[in-house]
Structure 1
Amino acid sequence: MDSGNKGFNFNFDFGKRPNTENIHKGSKGFKQAFSDFKQDMKIRDNNRKGSNPFKVILLTLVIMFILFFVTLPALNFMAPEFYSFLIAGIILFNVLNLIFGKMPVFKIGSISAILVGVLLLAPIVIGFFAQPIFRAKAYSTLIPVSDANFAETVTEISYDKVPVVDREAAAIIGARQMGSVQEVVSQFEINENYTQINIKGVPVRVSPLAYSDLIKYFLNFRNGIPYYVKVDMATQEADLIKLVSPLKYSKSDILMRDIIRHNRFKYPTKMFGETNFEVDDEGNGFYITSVLTKRIGFFGGTDVKGAIVTNGSTGESNYYDVADVPHWVDRVYPADLIIQQLDYRGSYSDGFINSIIGQRNVTRTTRGYNYVPLNDDIYLFTGVTSIRSDSSNLGFYFVNLRTKDAMFFSVPSADEFSAMNSATGQIQEKNYVPAFPVLLNIKDRPTYLIGLKDASGLAKMFALVDAENYQKVEVGNTVQEVINQYYMRTDTSNLPGEDANELTIKIEEIQSVVIDGNTIYYIKAAGDDVVYVGTAKTLGAPIVFAKPGDSLKVFGNPRNNQFDILLNFQSN
């Protein structure tokens, strides 16, 4: 036992005070050294021969103005970049004073260090108490959502207004159209914004031209940008449209004609969101800039409070609160901001702790979104799924991008990606890539319309997938074809019912019409006012040889003076 402690010698002397002489000497030495340093700095400050302090201040302001001109920060206490701008100004002033000034470096530096510390810590501390952990309920109510009935709210739209072009495809289609106009393509290129809007009730994507380079800018800036590209989202056709008045302000302009800089100098305190190009119904080009605010505390809960509408030709800018934005404007709220607020609603409605532990009723949006034209507005739509992501949706959100009016449709369904996989499974031999779907009302049922794109990025085929039963899939070469096929397969209104009749008629006249690849037969019978209608698919091969004078047997339900033929013709 003793041998194990030979290397240790413990000496506890509780009655003896520790020797603090060296500690006091060290402390005294540090204080003395610091005092000597201050004294030395005072002597140096007194002996400095620098410029007049006002010259240093003026030089600081000039450089900060240049920095403001380049970076364009919002001079708003809610904007994080404002604090960075102030800190940069304080550091710049101290550097210039050290090099050129004669103000006391130590004193000015000490005050500056305190100011920088406050500017760094204040946003961090205040922002921390505005986080969801403290304000979960406030975050969950950033976007009010009302429950709605899908069939009653989302009306069926005609096939020629169904949007099937996404931004990627619009860029490809627009580039092809641009390349066909040599005198334009040599001077301009297309801005890749491609905003989806409605023009006279038709969903389109629009993007203005942009100056190709600095030399082309100086050659053309006096006349401005004369054209924009419009891509019809239903027909996949692009047109180069001449503006009523050329754009003299744009994102490709420089100095004070840059649209962001132009608005920043007119509204220096407003926080800008995204800026989108839009065209009104008269063909005038405008830029719509969303104006942001903070709804929670001083730094939390980003939201839109209004928009700046700028005439791209004259540069005239007007600010509108959200409620007063002109109705022809389609895009005020950024899509990413809407998705963020919907996720806050799904996560924090029952408190922050529940979003981490238990996760009762916690939902999130699916991994994508798209846009749907509705009542001459653009609505963002996305699915709502549980936090555990089980490849199914609880329903759908529809949000108006001008007003932020939001609706939730409780429709248990397959999520968008399951529908996309189901669509490609029908034509897997073609190796087409599905675009993110558009949600349509087909026969009062939520139905995904999915563009199937080839290697060029353009939609070559289309699929309709029943959202509630994604095993029901129709695939066609055009939107009209796939919708017709879907109706024919799901429509049971023409099946023989209690009032079904079996008739033998004599053909007086027969006409066939090809509509989007489908042959439709219209038959007038002798001594009968009813028009008999049927397709080659439902009537069978014998209808091809039917001629006036033939007797035909039909069976179906007469309605509205029309008889939908369901059985094969039997010609004599």
Structure 2
Amino acid sequence: MGKQTKKKKSTGAAKEIFAKPPGRLGKWNVIAFAVLVVGELIYYYAATPAINIQSTSFWVWMVISVALVGFCTLDFTVESNDTRSVATKATKPAAWIVVIMIAVGLIMVAASSKLFCASKYASLINIEDGDFQTDIPESRQINDIALMDTSTARIIGERAVGSLSDVVSQYEVSGNYSTIDYNGAPMKVAALNYAGFIKYMNNRKNGIPGYVLVDPVKNEAHYIQTEKPIVYSPSAYFNKNLYRHVQMAYPTYIFEGFYLELNDDGNPYYICPVLESHAGLFGAKDVKGVVICDPCTGDTEYHEVSDVPHWVDRVYDGDLVCQKYDWYGELSGGYWNSVFGNKGCKRTTDDYGYKVMDGDVWVYTGVTSVNGDESNIGFALMNLRTGESKYYKVAGAEEYSAMSSAEGQVQHLGYKASFPSLINISGIPTYIMVLKDNGGLVKMYALVDVEKYNIVATDTTQKDALAAYNKLLAENGLKSTQSMTDDIPNRQITVADIKYINMDETTYVYITDENGNVYKQDFSENEELIFIQSGDKIKVFYQESDNGINDIISVER
């Protein structure tokens, strides 16, 4: 009996020890918290997330952080055969906070969706109906149009620094070119980047010496050395990293990107658009302002969209403005209409180009129905500085169909068309593009009628391509005599001499006037030239040529 009583007392003591409620935090918890704090600081410095509840990444970071706090409250002294709970008094509240944060986050995601906020998504952009003849200046010549795409800019940009051994050995040209209006001329600008961590460490005191400026009209690139070195760069490390520098200066701002631009004096600045949500907590993000950072000094300044300096060109990104147009085009009739009925739904085409007009950079993109056919119902122009957007109801080929038409004209050469720009030729919407070889070099130019994309003209120079295009327009009855008189150089002449010369199995007619000016035309294009004789008075419509021999478009006898 005595032995049995002693055993019962011993068993009761064991239960009392192992079944006691969760205790206080111990030294291992303090160590865990210390490690967590250090880890959080390292993460914040490395990733530099925006401290803003409208950022989904911030919510993910907070949920993980609270979960790790809960982990740090566990009783690390409990052994595997121990019947005590590893949870302490602080573990359960942390777990509930994680659950509540996840639930609230999911609810906010749903509340921010297009299903519940279709009208807010659709109203982010205000679309005006534009007049093509009025808004798009007529191009009487096309040798002043920027046709270079980014891939070509990269090629000639690399050449600009290739001969500078002290530059090319330490730095590399960024592949991110910004299209800007620089003192009234379209330009592309790219920064130099450190060529790796070791090169950064070797040059961090000297900084980056300059940038590359590309002229897309003349197909020229120049390396520009700045008066002060560029210190803050996306390719720099530690405190000199541009992203980290700007985000830490404005820790609650959600940045959309960082774009290099030049002010009117040629000084580099990074334009950093700031986003805010307009639908629920996370949805329909749009630009509310920009932070302008001087990469040479690190100085930053915030501007509202309405107060941005005029030299700034890229407040809105091209992808963002096209996305906003898609929201407008698809959700104006409501969410369910965008899913099932599709009545009146439209969207932008797969790509876009840049057009510099009146001191601003505009994004051009075709607009097509959601059915995804190969034709456009119109096109849109969107100002990247002000957000002004216009829609033009011009039905015709979408850009890739026009590119295929141009490539078909030179299929024997295997040239590939770049994404086109949109110009106005005598009131006719026209695609213009370059044709490149496999090495990315520009070999020819092409013009395609937007509405009748079987009308295609190609040639090795811009002037000759335009002359050929004007001839096609006249032959197809798209250019009246009056419009030709207004738009195309023309002259009343007296024929002093006329000759027929065979070259490469083609007969050309050369007409010389009383002042010695020479005009030529392929005889097969206008056999009525056979009736012209010396002494005749004729009116000739022509395209000026660099060699002094003008290309005849049309002749009136």
- Tell me the TM-score range normalised by the shorter chain: 0.7 to 0.9
1:123 paired residue among 87, 105, 123: 105
Judged with a 3 Å threshold, the aligned counterparts in structure 2 of structure 1 residues 282 and 502 are, in CA distance, closer, same or farther, namely closer
Is 1:106 matched with 2:88?
yes
User: 1:390 and 2:367 equivalent?
Assistant: no
1:528 aligned residue? none
Q: Which amino acid aligns with 1:121?
A: A
1:428 aligns with 2:395: no
Q: Read off the aligned partner of 1:78 and give its amino acid letter.
A: Q
Give the structure 1 partner of residue 503 of structure 2. none
Which amino acid is the alignment partner of residue 122 of structure 1?
Answer: V
1:344: which partner in 2? 327
Specify the code of the residue in structure 1 equivalent to 2:27. G
Alignment partners' CA distance in 2, 1:565 and 1:161: 21
Q: Could you tell me whether the CA contact under 8 Å between 2:495 and 2:512 is conserved in 1?
A: no
Cα distance, 1:245 vs. partner?
A: 2.3
Cα contact 2:379–2:392 (8 A) shared by 1? yes
Distance 1:372 1:59, change over 3 A: same
- CA gap of 1:99–1:176, structure 2 versus 1, over 3 A, is farther
1:324-363 equivalences under 5 Å are 324-363=307-346
Tell me what 2:49 maps to.
73
| Distance in 1 of aligned mates of 2:197 and 2:326 | 43
Give the residue type in structure 2 aligned to 1:536. K
Task: Give the secondary-structure state (helix, strand or coil) at the position aligned to 1:480.
Answer: helix
Deviation per CA, 1:117-145: give whole Å up to 9, x if none: 12212121122122222222221111110
Paired position in structure 1 for 2:520: 536
Give runs of aligned pairs for residues 45-444 of structure 1, distance below 5 A.
Answer: 45-46=23-24, 49-50=26-27, 57=33, 59-98=35-74, 105-157=87-139, 158-444=141-427
Equivalence for 1:31: none
- Helix, strand or coil at the partner of 1:142: coil
Q: Deviations over 1:290-345 (max 9, x none)?
A: 10110111111111111110001011011111111111011111221112111111
* Identical positions, percent: 33
Identify the residue that residue 547 of structure 1 maps to in structure 2. none
CA contact (8 A) 2:75 2:86 kept: no
- Distance of aligned partners of 1:503 and 1:382 in 2 relative to their CA distance in 1, 3 Å threshold: closer
1:397-436 superposed Cα distances (whole Å, 9 cap, x missing partner): 1000111110000111111111111111111101111111
User: Relative to 1, partners in 2 of residues 1:50 and 1:235: Cα closer, same or farther, differing over 3 Å?
Assistant: same
Q: Is the 8 A contact 1:462 1:482 kept in 2?
A: yes
Question: How many angstroms apart in 1 are the aligned matches of 2:15 and 2:211?
Answer: 67
The AA in structure 1 aligned to 2:43 is L
Does the Cα contact within 8 Å between 1:74 and 1:270 map onto a contact in 2? yes
Go from structure 1 to structure 2 and tell me whether the alpha carbon gap of 1:184 and 1:346 turns closer, same or farther (over 3 Å shift).
same
What is the CA–CA distance in structure 2 between the aligned matches of 1:221 and 1:501, rounded to whole Å? Answer: 63
2:82: which partner in 1? none
Q: Distance in 2 between matches of 1:481 and 1:259?
A: 46
1:51 CA displacement? 6.0
Equivalent pair of 1:245/1:284 in contact (CA under 8 Å): no
What SS is found at the alignment partner of 2:91?
A: helix
In structure 2, what is the Cα distance between the partners aligned to 1:194 and 1:501? 44
> Compared with structure 1, are the counterparts of its residues 358 and 275 closer, same or farther at alpha carbon in structure 2 (3 Å cutoff)?
same
Provide the rounded CA distance (Å) in 1 between the counterparts of 2:418 and 2:18: 71
Shift in alpha-carbon separation, 1:49–1:368, aligned structure 2, 3 A: closer
CA contact (8 A) 2:22 2:87 kept: no
Does the Cα contact within 8 Å between 2:495 and 2:513 map onto a contact in 1? no
* Deviation larger for 175-184 or 407-416: 175-184
Structure 2 counterparts to residues 419-568 of structure 1, below 5 A: 419-490=402-473, 492=479, 523-524=513-514, 535-537=519-521, 552-556=535-539
Instruction: Note if contact 1:494-1:557 (Cα within 8 Å) is conserved in structure 2.
Output: no
Structure 1 residue 535, shift from structure 2 partner: 2.1
1:346-401, Cα deviation, whole Å (9 max, x unpaired):
11111112112221111111111111111111111111111112211110010001
Q: What is the total number of aligned residue pairs between the two structures? A: 503
In the TM superposition, what is the alpha-carbon distance from 1:565 to its structure 2 partner?
10
Amino acid at match of 1:73: P
Q: CA deviation at 1:497?
A: 11
Unaligned runs of 5+ in 1: 1-35, 508-517, 526-531, 541-549, 559-563
In structure 1, C-alpha distance between the alignment counterparts of 2:381 and 2:553, rounded to whole Å = 40
- In our comparison, the structure showing a higher alpha carbon Rg is 1
Query: 3-state SS of the aligned residue for 1:428?
Result: coil
- Check conservation: 1:161, 1:203, Cα contact below 8 A: no
Amino acid at match of 1:342: Y
8 Å CA contact retained: 1:289, 1:309: yes
Distance 1:340 1:416 in 2: 18
Taking only aligned residues, the RMSD between alpha carbons, in angstroms, comes to 3.4
Asked whether the 8 Å contact 1:194–1:205 carries over to 2, the reply is yes
Alpha carbons 1:539, 1:565 under 8 Å: kept: no
TM-score by length of 1: 0.80
Query: SS of 1:245's equivalent?
Result: strand
Contact persistence 1:414–1:467 (CA under 8 A): yes
Q: Deviations over 1:204-236 (max 9, x none)?
A: 211111111222212222121112111211122
Instruction: Describe the SS at the equivalent of 2:468.
Output: helix
Please give the alpha-carbon distance, in whole angstroms, between the structure 2 residues aligned to 1:71 and 1:435.
Answer: 37
Q: Judging changes above 3 Å, is the alpha-carbon distance between structure 1 residues 555 and 356 closer, same or farther for their aligned structure 2 residues?
A: same
2:205 partner SS = coil
The one-letter code sitting in structure 2 at the alignment partner of 1:255 is F
For residues 232 and 61 of structure 1, the distance between their equivalents in structure 2, rounded to whole angstroms, comes to 51
TM-superposed deviation, 1:70: 0.8
Indicate the SS of the match to 2:535: strand
Query: How far off its partner does 1:490 sit?
Result: 3.0
